[in-house]
Amino acid sequence: CLLAFRFLRSAMASAQTPHWSRLLVIGVTLGLAASGMHYSAMAGTAFQDAGLCATPPTLGQDLTSLSSAFGEHVGLATAIFLILLTVNITGIVVAVFDHRLEDANRKRAEALALANEQLNVKADQLTDELALEKSIFEAAVDATQDCLWSWQPKTQALFISQHLNSLLGTNPAYTITSLEELEVRLHPKDLKGFRQAFKKTAESPDNQLHLKVRLRKAQGDWLWVLIRGRRVHRVQGEDDVLVGAISNFEAQQKSEDEARQLAEQQRELAILRSRLVRILSHELKTPLAVITASADLLEATSQPRDARHEKKVASYFTGIVEAVERIQVILDHALEFNQLESLDAIAKPQWCRAASLCEEAIKWAEQAQALAPGTLVRMASAALTDEAMVDPRFFGLVAQNLLSNAIKYSDGKPVELQLHCSSDLLSLDVLDQGPGIPEAEQGRLFKAFFRGEAGSSKPGTGLGLSIAARAAQAMGGELRLVTSGPKGSRFRLEITCPTRSTQA
**Angle 392-410/464-474 helices, nearest 10 degrees?**
150
Determine the Cα–Cα distance for residues 271 and 268; give it in Å rounded to an integer: 5
CA distance 321 to 427: 36
- Output the pLDDT for position 140: 66
Assign residue 460 a region: left if phi > 0, alpha if psi is -120 to 50, beta otherwise? Answer: left
390: left (phi over 0), alpha (psi -120 to 50) or beta: beta
Residues 469 and 479: beta-carbon distance below 8 Å:
yes
From the list 445, 433, 437, 453, the residue with the least C-alpha distance to 480 is 445
pLDDT given for residue 55 in this prediction = 46
Task: Give residues with Cβ within 8 angstroms of 122, minimum separation 6.
Answer: none
What per-residue confidence (pLDDT) applies to 144?
62
- SS3 of 109-150: HHHHHHHHHHHHHHHHHHHHHHHHHHHHHHHHHHHHCCEEEE
Backbone angles phi, psi at 146, to 5 degrees: -100, 150
The whole-angstrom separation of Cα 318 and Cα 304 is: 15
**Distance separating alpha carbons of residues 217 and 164, to the nearest angstrom:** 10
Query: What pLDDT score does 56 carry?
Result: 47
Q: Could you list the mean pLDDT of each consecutive 10-residue stretch along the chain, which spans 504 residues?
A: 58 55 62 65 63 51 54 60 71 74 87 90 88 74 75 86 85 86 91 89 84 91 91 70 88 87 80 62 66 70 63 70 68 67 71 89 76 70 78 89 86 87 88 87 81 68 81 90 90 91 66
- The Cα 236–Cα 234 span in angstroms is 7
pTM for the whole thing? Answer: 0.42
| Amino acid making up residue 107 | K
pLDDT of residue 343: 46
